[in-house]
Structure 1
Amino acid sequence: MLSLSRRLALSLLTYSTLTCLMANPAQAQAQEFISVKGAGANVREQPSTKATTLWELNDGYPLQVIQRKSDWLQVKDFEATLGWIYAPRTQKVPHMVITAKVANLRAGPTQQHKVVSKLEAQEIVKTLKKSNDWVQVERSNGQQGWIASNLAWGW
């Protein structure tokens, strides 16, 4: 459970982000995504290496960019949790995080295609191609297949 001071800090961070977006509606429309480059990237409360680390993310984890401040990006994850990440620790390689409890990895982009494997909640997959409501993805072990896009978050 988050301490009162941490909840207050997160609330203020959320308020400042919403204020910025209301002041610039065009920014609210644009959805820029990045993914983590390498293992052990820290997401912090403020855009500083001295700020408290909120969580640590591994290679490929997708994040939505909310705003930029110097070499820092304010980002949110699939649960809409906000934080700051050092921009050089990110990349423009599309990835998705599985948001369903379990997602069928299929041989093709329909429910009629054979299930080749199961993906677990919060597994990170690289996005290869999109087709209608389906996404072709690649697991960290190199296995490829298709998932329904509503079972994952990212780009």
Structure 2
Amino acid sequence: MPILPKSFVRHVVLFVFIILFPTFSLAEMVSVSGDNVNLRTGPSTTSPVRWRYGSGFPLQVLEKKGEWLKVQDFENDTGWLHKSLTAGTGHMIVKVNKGSDEKINIRSGPGTNHKVVGMAHYGVVFRTIEQKNGWALVRHESGLEGWILRSLLWGF
């Protein structure tokens, strides 16, 4: 019986894992569709409201129960909202500088050598246009478009 190289065996195991278990590779994300969308304590319109989110707010799906999604936001708050109030449109939120007046740079290109075209503070939501080399091209509802270092953002 031939002996297979360890690297070959590792590659085969990795390939099988990726093919058979794709749900482990990426968490499901959604964005809020609508303004003043209620995040509830349970999967029902009679459950108390925990938070209200604005349009585009990105959320990670933790669980599904019928037409309801248990979600988590970038501050690790969790709750339930109806699936009809979400979309698969990519959005990101600034996750750094909480409790400070510091802002992050929005640049004309994907790199620190590009001109600053705007700034944003903690909690600002952007529509995701493109991701490239650790940077995200985003657009704010005001129309401002530019690149932000991906590690400063949370979402998809």
Q: Which sections of structure 1, spanning at least 5 residues, go unmatched?
A: 1-24
Superposed, 1:19-58 pairs within 5 Å as 29-58=25-54
Q: 1:26 Cα deviation (Å)?
A: 7.3
The separation in 2 between residues aligned to 1:98 and 1:30, in whole angstroms, is: 20
Identical positions, percent: 35
More helix as a share of residues: 1
Q: Partners of 1:79 and 1:123 in 2: how far apart?
A: 13
> What are the Cα deviations for residues 61-81 of structure 1, in whole angstroms up to 9, with x where unaligned?
000001111110000001111
TM-score normalised by the chain length of structure 2: 0.80
Secondary structure at 1:67's aligned position in 2? Answer: strand
Q: Deviations over 1:68-116 (max 9, x none)?
A: 1111000000111111011101011000011122210000000000111
Name the TM-score, length of structure 1 as normaliser.
0.81
Larger radius of gyration: 2
1:97 equivalent in structure 2? 93
Distance apart, 1:28 and its partner CA: 5.6
CA distance in 1, matches of 2:27, 2:122: 23
User: RMSD of aligned C-alpha atoms?
Assistant: 1.4
Runs of 4+ aligned structure 1 residues displaced above 3 Å come to 25-30
**Aligned residue type for 2:70:** Q
- The corresponding residue for 1:76 is 72
- Residue in 2 aligned with 1:13? none
Q: Where in structure 2 are there 5+ consecutive unaligned residues? A: 1-20, 98-102
Aligned residues: 131
Which residue number in structure 1 is paired with residue 137 of structure 2?
136
- Report deviation, 1:30: 3.7
